[in-house]
Structure 1
Amino acid sequence: MNTPEFSSLPLKPALLENIESLGYTHLTPIQAESLPHILEGKDVIAQAKTGSGKTAAFGIGLLSRLDLSSFKVQAMVICPTRELADQVCKEIRQLARFTQNIKVLALCGGTPFAPQRSSLEHGVHVVVGTPGRLQEHLQKASLRLDHLKVLVLDEADRMLDMGFADIISDVISYAPTHRQTLLFSATYAEPIRALSQKFQFKPVSVSVETSHHDNPIEQRFHQVDKAKRLNALGYLLAYHRPESTVVFCNTKRECQDVADTLSNCGFSVQALHGDLEQKDRDQVLVRFANKSCSILVATDVAARGLDIKDMQAVINYELPWDPEVYIHRIGRTGRAGAKGLALSLVSEAELNRVKAIEDYMAGSVKWDEIAPFKLSSEHRFEPPMVTLWIDGGRKDKMRPGDILGALTGANGIAGSEVGKIDIFDKHAYVAVKRGSADKALTCLRAGKIKGRNFNVRKSQWH
């Protein structure tokens, strides 16, 4: 299918000429779906990943709304990290080359405040920034949004993951009610829908990924002897290597036994069942959601309300009696148009449960072989992230931006190496990519957060 050309859009000739000089001729799918609505001034919620052309979509949209004779902030883009904000700034400047007069300014933490304030005083059309620094400028009145026409939330899911929800709400409270709000996110999870309801007016939903396949969950069944079930589970985990998988057991006892065995054999695993205290449950879910623990062994009751994005696989260590419970279990993978994998181990005694599932789904299930595999303590399956525990939290007025700033300051790590940030009353957790964990730990121990020293250590729970 041929996507439309930029020349088919109602753009100013100078802007169109510049877009074509950059080598853009045809719209990417996300641009084709979103730009007509954006140019009509409608609010848009778009599901789009990095590399989909989303920056050009909202960049062209906001540039077409600017009154260049007025040096007031008319468009604001909120990004999760300094790197992304710099990248967005660069692309908007490229798209805006058609006129010498346009001023685009990056407002990010980790860089001096005073020069930013000075640039704002000289007049700016577009600001692109991270939540904490934008909030600081608004609170100090160096940034005013009285003339704002377009507000963009870029990678909104990542900003929520990093704990910026309250700061974003505060930043938006400074903006006029009559504005266009564009929300871009890689997922459509419930927190994103809630964000949209709070800040958008009758938004048009745009998604280009979910239409490619009717059922994104691939289901496979494996018949095994009851005595070989644990080895079969080890084989599936070692073969597929999912970064994030839930293994369902039918009892608390089995749940703990399976988790202990996998842990002893080098897998990154935690158990989630009804006997856990709330504090322990919080810690387990923090590590699983931020990908510093790859496997969660859970009972159905304990997994209620579990909504983890990017869950790559669900494994039924044992099939549930009720086919509806099976459907509910596997529905936790394959979210937001991503491919999901549902694997089930079945003993001979459970074949009648498979028949019930086939009747419920009105179709046959797919059977697969399992190669011989022996669990042993020689394996080592490291998760992609490591969690750092910080001995300070909400009661210390700690915010996600403080932790991010401390990690990415001088001699720190890149913002792209930082994952989910979770702040509790008396402590906080931050996930960092495994290769940067030691540097991040040194950085936080040597430096200060909010001008104070806090105890920091790697979190390990089994």
Structure 2
Amino acid sequence: MSNQSNAFNQLSLPKSLLDNLESMQYSQMTPIQALTLPAILSGKDVVAKAKTGSGKTAAFGLGILSKLNVDSYATQALVICPTRELAEQVANELRRLARLINNIKILTLCGGQPIIHQVNSLAHGAHIVVGTPGRLLDHIQRQTVNFDALQFLVLDEADRMLDMGFEDDMMHIIKHIPSQKQTLLFSATYPDSIEKMSTRIQTQPEFITVDEVNDQIEQLFYEIDDAQRKLILAKLLTDHMAQSVVVFCNTKQACNEVEHYLSQLGFSVIGLNGDLEQRDREQVLLQFANKSRTILVATDVAARGLDIKELDLVINYQIAYDPQVHVHRVGRTGRAGQNGLAITLVSPNEIAKANLLEQSQNLTIDWLTLNDVSFDKTKIVQPKMQTLSLTIGRKNKIRPGDILGALTKDAAIDGQLIGKINITDLYSYVAIDKKMIKKALDYFKQGKIKGKSVRARSL
């Protein structure tokens, strides 16, 4: 396929969407977008096999937005995701794609948030609903959602939803949706269960597969002595001096031990495990994504839905039990055409897992060893940014520009020193250069945003 035909402007998209794509510097479609968008725009059901980070959200998002009737506040599209994090990411990406469409309302319905706020928002209508199966079922049972006008159903990461036991929930939700609709099913793998589900819920779907072997990810395997595992981890972190690292552990206990160990040494580290309350989990992910922390230590379950762009390095502190899990871990680096690096530590009692990985992925492992495990503490990378948490959010009709304006105009902080701004329903999080944190905190002792007093604290 030539580059010319891979340009977004070759598609019959509304001008507002094309103008916005241009402002976002999206000119060429990714392979999954080039293959699925024509089918989606022509109204076909689609089953698409593509990995996380391939650009699938924009593929179905542009399809939905191109056909949306903004004048009607009836819910016209439903996107079902396996986790709250993924649902939030999808909703945020849809909002970015819809920036030049006036008065569009995109609502997330997930667990871990007060249901009453969601009920109140639904009462005013929403064009697009993005949610997790459990919370969507809850709203269906309460009769607080109405899908009578639904035109699009998207199942995102459908294989993972089946793995997590959501099949009955999904089928129950689908019973409450009109049979005349366009159904898009996205999945990283294509097991028999996906084929069965497609047969039940889709009409003559077009099957699209993008198996991109990412040759931009360099993989290094170190044979280690189990007793030196933590030391070797610290050594590799200082040797590579990466700005953004995910360290994967197989258990929650290992995760906690590694986080504590690295923290004691002075690394900027934060942990993500299944025991965290939803808001704490949200804050952990935000701090890592906005470059306020250098290292995220996580289990595979906790990292579900994690989509961090510009991830320099993945370290498998312990080799994954399953080769497919290893592929998912490693695939989190080297996104969007960037080079990536993945390092796996393997002790003698884990060699069988490494052999299985070699066979299943057609890999040839060149084993490395470290003779010297001493490391230089002066090479520990410290982030330039810190996160500010503000007691104001989407419910207060706050936009990133309102926060940026208050900090630059009123608090007189240089805009270059302000990083990512994330707004959730009740809170906002701002990455600010560490040198300016005190100034920002001082401002919010009296300062306001849109006339509303705001409490601030640094995370």
Q: What TM-score do you get using the length of structure 1 for normalisation?
A: 0.54
| Aligned AA (1:231) | L
Q: Deviations over 1:126-145 (max 9, x none)?
A: xxxxxxxxxxxxxxxxxxxx
Amino acid at match of 2:237: L
Whether the 8 Å contact between 2:245 and 2:314 is mirrored in structure 1 is yes
Name the counterpart of 1:370.
370
Alpha-carbon deviation of 1:415? 3.2
Alignment of 1:173-188 (within 5 A): 173=102
Displacement after TM superposition at 1:376 (Å): 9.0
What is the match of residue 281 of structure 1? 281
Find the counterpart in structure 2 of residue 249 from structure 1.
249
- Indicate the residue corresponding to 1:172 in structure 2: 101
Q: Which moved more, 1:422-431 or 1:323-332?
A: 422-431
Flag structure 1 segments of 5+ consecutive residues without an equivalent: 1-28, 55-159, 176-189, 191-196, 198-210
Q: Distance in 2 between matches of 1:269 and 1:285?
A: 12
Q: Contact 1:315–1:342 (CA<8 Å) still a contact in 2? A: yes
Mapped to 2, the partners of 1:369 and 1:454 lie a distance apart of 53
- CA-to-partner distance for each residue in 1:144-167, whole Å, 9 max, x for gaps? xxxxxxxxxxxxxxxx99969658
Deviation at 1:275, TM superposition (A): 1.2
Q: In the alignment, is the contact (CA less than 8 A) between 2:20 and 2:99 conserved in 1? A: no
- AA partner of residue 370 (structure 1): L
Aligned residue number for residue 418 of structure 1: 418
1:222 aligns with 2:151: no
Residue-by-residue CA offset, 1:142-196 (whole Å, 9 max, x unaligned): xxxxxxxxxxxxxxxxxx9996965874642389xxxxxxxxxxxxxx9xxxxxx
Contact 2:314 2:330 in 1 (8 A): yes
> CA offsets per residue over residues 371-413 of structure 1, 9 Å max, x none?
5234798875311321011122233333222111112215623
Provide closer, same or farther for how the CA distance between residues 400 and 53 of structure 1 changes in structure 2, counting only shifts above 3 A: closer
Return the alpha-carbon distance in structure 1 between the equivalents of residues 339 and 22 of structure 2. 15
Instruction: Report the equivalent of 1:324.
Output: 324
Alignment of 1:59-138 (within 5 A): none
Give yes or no for contact 1:164–1:400 (8 Å, CA) kept in 2. Answer: no
Change (3 A) 1:335 1:369: same
Aligned to 1:339: 339
Find the aligned partners of 1:391 and 1:253 in 2 and give their Cα distance.
33
Which is greater in Rg? Answer: 1
Q: Matched residue of 1:351: which SS?
A: helix
Gaps of 5+ in 2: 28-88, 105-155, 157-183, 185-211
Hey, what does 1:404 align to over in structure 2?
A: 404
**SS of the residue aligned with 2:336?**
helix
Report the RMSD for the aligned CA atoms in angstroms.
Answer: 4.0
What's the counterpart of residue 348 of structure 1? 348
Letter in 2 for 1:296: L
Corresponding position of 2:269: 269
Is the Cα–Cα contact under 8 Å of residues 292 and 386 in structure 2 kept in the other structure?
yes
Question: Percentage identity across aligned positions?
Answer: 42
CA distance in 1: counterparts of 2:374 and 2:21, whole angstroms: 42
Q: Give me the whole-angstrom Cα distance separating, in 1, the residues matched to 2:310 and 2:264.
A: 26
* Cα separation, 2, equivalents of 1:41 and 1:423: 28
- 1:194 maps to none
- 1:264 corresponds to which letter in structure 2? Q
User: What is the one-letter code of the residue matched to 1:345?
Assistant: L
Q: In structure 2, do the counterparts of structure 1 residues 363 and 295 end up closer, same or farther at CA, with 3 Å as the change threshold?
A: same
The one-letter amino acid of 2:353's match is R
Mapped to 2, the partners of 1:168 and 1:36 lie a distance apart of 15
| AA at the equivalent of 2:403 | I
Q: TM-score, normalised to structure 2's length? A: 0.55
Q: Is the 8 A contact 2:21 2:97 kept in 1?
A: no
Contact 2:268 2:383 in 1 (8 A): yes
Q: Is the 8 A contact 2:411 2:440 kept in 1?
A: no
Letter in 2 for 1:251: T
Q: Take 2:6 and 2:302, find their aligned partners in 1: how far apart are those partners?
A: 40
